[in-house]
Amino acid sequence: MRLAGWSLHPVRLPYRAPVEWSDVAEVSADLLILRLRAEDGREGASEGTAKPTWSGATLASLATVLEGVVLPRLLNRDLSAPGAVLKALARVPENATAKAMADAAVRDLLEEEGPSGELPLSWTITLKDPAAMAREAEAMVAAHGFSALKLKGGRTFERDLETVRAVRAAVGPGVALTLDMNGLYADGPALRAHVASLAAAGLTHVEDPTTLRPDEAFRRIQSACAAPIMVDAAIWSEADGATFLERGARALGIKPGRVGPSVTEAIAARATAAGAEVAIGLFGESDLGAGATWRLAARMPPGWPPAETSTFLLFDRPLTKEPPALRGGRVALPSGRAAARADWATIARLHP
């Protein structure tokens, strides 16, 4: 299978309400849709997030890299050959999101039907005061049946504990809770005492409490916490995942939007061999981009944390012709290629 052409479709997708992440407050998300066309007429699509503090890219810079660096290297290659995309891009440094988008779009070309059935998802509660986060947790569990929640933290130790306790009181003991501190704290004895308190308060995982490195400091903070420390922000390659696993990591958060589906699967295989867990995170934020992540997560071992790909609920409209529905915290896996599911008319109207 060889590539015949491509097109890029920038989107500015409004949120239903303003969203505050750890590093930025937003009223909309900038997304770039890549549409590939094969010589035999098949089409594939993928979605990338254009956020300078997350992907290191804007819509313009991401499009430039795809057009000028990444996609030309896929021409005149048999993309159905094993590892073809990774081999074609092996000599291209950096530009993780663009390479991940190419990998996912080619996979969409090749894979007409993926896994079937339903997949459990978690819901992420963005930064608000603890009482508001507890109300949202209660509402989302009641409305959609989520059995796992990720809470954003990292403001102060006291605020973290207040948030965890408020949410736990709101949703009861049966919902798994992860606190993501986005690496905002300095390492040291005070932080180790804090993560121990968080685990005692009923967290399932503690994610990125500080800037994690595969060193002695990582061993100390993991030893201090009864719950697994989830390593997320530091995972940008298969080598990163392997190094943390060698250091005894018990849980990794993998963002396919950073490393692509092929590397995600390679890291997950290493984690399985090491007896560690993996939480599959974002590829694209919309319902169109999330489908690629759902298919990846459906192939992971049972018992791992639910996929963190329910952000499509934050937006004021879908980007697919048949939007996904949640039942009991689970989403039905989409059938067919993303390029066929995409609502291209809506995508065109959202051009910024």
Residues 88 and 217 in one domain: no
Containing domain of residue 177, as a range?
Answer: 118-336
Classify residue 126 as left (phi > 0), alpha (psi -120 to 50) or beta.
beta
Residues 97 and 146 in one domain: no
Tens of pLDDT along 115-133?
Answer: 889 999 999 998 899 999 9
Average pLDDT over the chain, rounded to whole? 94
Residues 25 and 109 in one domain: yes
- Start-to-end CA distance of the chain, whole Å, equals 33
Residues 155 and 73 in one domain: no
pLDDT at position 314, please? 93
pLDDT at position 283, please? 74
pLDDT at position 338, please? 94
Rounded distance, CA 273 to CA 267, Å? Answer: 10
Residues 97 and 229 in one domain: no
Residues 165 and 211 in one domain: yes
pLDDT at position 11, please? 97
Residues 138 and 266 in one domain: yes
Residues 134 and 157 in one domain: yes
Q: Inform me whether the pLDDT recorded for 312 exceeds 80.
A: yes
Contact status, residue 65 vs residue 115, Cβ threshold 8 Å:
no
* Segment 236-254 mean pLDDT: 96
Count CB-CB contacts under 10 A for residue 258.
25
Q: Inform me whether the pLDDT recorded for 22 exceeds 80.
A: no
Q: Inform me whether the pLDDT recorded for 25 exceeds 90.
A: no
Rounded distance, CA 28 to CA 18, Å? Answer: 8
Rounded distance, CA 327 to CA 287, Å? Answer: 15
Rounded distance, CA 183 to CA 162, Å? Answer: 19
Q: How many domains does the chain have?
A: 2
Residues 62 and 184 in one domain: no
- Alpha-helix runs per DSSP H in the chain: 59-65, 84-89, 96-110, 130-144, 157-171, 189-200, 216-224, 238-246, 256-274, 287-298, 338-341, 344-349
Rounded distance, CA 11 to CA 352, Å? Answer: 6
Residues 296 and 332 in one domain: yes
Residues 109 and 126 in one domain: no
Residues 307 and 332 in one domain: yes
- Would you state the structure tokens that stand for residue 89, as one six-digit string? 């891009």
Contact status, residue 9 vs residue 32, Cβ threshold 8 Å:
yes
- Report the CATH number at residue 283: 3.20.20.120
- Report the CATH number at residue 92: 3.30.390.10
